[in-house]
Structure 1
């Protein structure tokens, strides 16, 4: 995707708006109806509401986010915090004003539906230059300063959250909430990688240079020659490495075996390719 398009304000606001609304509907119309605990700060807000019956989960979520945004303003970037603030405010407002009835009586079905919708909403938000607030801010700060993985931060917080929930809620609800968060995380990862999946291809052939020329001409892709040596023959040969998308894979296979029917064609999946012609590194 073009850098200017990705970094444009309208595009980021559109992603955040859609994601926040979908997320709010999933929490209000399904999760809280069945008493589930969403992960992260919204989950802590929901747990506080279930325990006190004061205000509502969205209001608690908003208040718990305030100190986190103060830290994020100074530790991450103002642009990131402004986008995230918009997402947080919109999620809070959407929770209060959107009434989308989703009638699901079966608890397991509700767990799956809520997880898919909340993961979809969260994934759309994270495709922007902001976040949904809450633990996203803490995770990014810890990652930038101490190189602690974002996933590890979420895991540690949710472990604390669900351990606390066991002393307040029924075990069945806590288990359902854990399943909900797992499904949401899986869906979110799928949304984030939806348009980023690429194929890394290694081609071992005596005609590697001829294949590379065809790839550059017909697929408009370049490649890199790696030095290799046959384990059995001991002969030196070039190994062509290139990165393409799923659509081009079959064409590359055709080019390879047309040039050399005896070639070795090795394909690996990858979801993060940064550089010219592919995604650019996201700068918050």
Structure 2
């Protein structure tokens, strides 16, 4: 079975959601809550309600906040994404409430870094799946699909309001540390999202485009497209090769291109996300 097929199997997605949710729960219970901080999103809202009321637990508050979200989700998003997200919400709730250890860190700056990295790593793993851990992920998808509101815009607005409300119960220093931790979390999530997804888009200008393309397709099993071009100086028409490859295939493509045509011109660009045959499939919400 190809790895691409494995990544869309139910066991693989349940594994990612379980692992990521447990890591997020560990970050919240072992670092964030013991230091009196909050995160962004619904998990942060649940923690803040726990601080305000001293009732129930952060995990139970998180679960309660998600109930109306899943009712909306049932109406507007795919069943697959919804059920995966429901599973993630339950796992995260249990992780928050049943993980019992604390990271022995006293310095708030170190706790901010540790909390941001741990929570971000866990959330990043969950985002690699076909589901989520509930909360803001579901609402942001609905708003994006129905009203065209960008996911980042909604999340920023929600977290801004959340931190404003937190001034009523948290020390100002803790709020600022929490904001810094949320920024670190977002950067770590971004890293995990691109860790295995980054591809290289390669343009090759050569007098032997057909020969180079044949070798790329034969040796690397990668497709290619000819783009009609024209030399600015010579005015002669040329077929420019466009192909997409992973990081490990770049050197092979360079060897093929320059081995056939030492005068070839090769341009490589980073791409964030490539969808289609041989690469990632679209995540359906």
1:87 aligns with: 88
Secondary structure, counterpart of 1:33 in structure 2: coil
1:1-284 to structure 2, matched below 5 A, reads 2=3, 4-284=5-285
- 8 Å Cα contact 2:29-2:102 kept in structure 1: no
* Residues 226-246 of structure 1: CA deviation (Å, up to 9, x unaligned): 111122222211110000010
| C-alpha distance in 1 between matches for 2:57 and 2:68 | 19
Q: Where do 5+ consecutive residues of structure 1 fail to align?
A: none
Q: Secondary structure at the match of 2:284?
A: coil
Could you state the TM-score of these two structures normalised by the residue count of structure 1?
A: 0.95
Structure 1 residue 3, shift from structure 2 partner: 5.4
The SS at the match of 2:34 is: helix
CA distances 1:70-113 after superposition (whole Å, capped 9, x unpaired): 11011112222221111111111111212233111111111111
Per-residue CA distance 1:163-218 (angstroms, 9 max, x = gap): 22234322211111111111111111221222111100011112222211111122
- Partner-residue secondary structure (3-state), 2:229: strand
Provide the C-alpha distance between the structure 2 equivalents of 1:281 and 1:77, rounded to a whole number of angstroms. 13
Change (3 A) 1:2 1:280: farther
Q: Which runs of 5+ in 2 are unaligned?
A: none
Could you tell me how far 1:4 is from its partner in structure 2? 4.1
Deviation at 1:29, TM superposition (A): 0.4
1:11-41 per-position Cα deviation (integer Å, ceiling 9, x unaligned): 1111111111111010000001111111101
Alpha-carbon distance in 2 for matches of 1:6, 1:220: 20
User: Once structures 1 and 2 are overlaid, which stretch shifts more, 149-158 or 238-247?
Assistant: 149-158
Look up the SS of the partner of 1:23 in the other structure: helix
1:179–1:139: structure 2 CA closer, same or farther, 3 Å change rule?
Answer: same
Do 2:81 and 2:284's aligned partners in 1 also have CA atoms closer than 8 Å? no
Note the alpha carbon deviations across 1:120-173, whole angstroms, 9 max, x for none.
111121222211111111001011112222111111111111122234322211
CA distance in 2 between partners of 1:232 and 1:156 (Å): 51
SS at 2:196 equivalent: coil
Return the alpha-carbon distance in structure 2 between the equivalents of residues 11 and 234 of structure 1. 53
Structure 2 counterpart SS, 1:103: coil
CA distance in 1, matches of 2:248, 2:101: 38
Distance 2:203 2:53 in 1: 59
**Secondary structure in 2 aligned to 1:241?**
strand
Count of residues in Structure 1 that have an aligned counterpart in Structure 2: 284
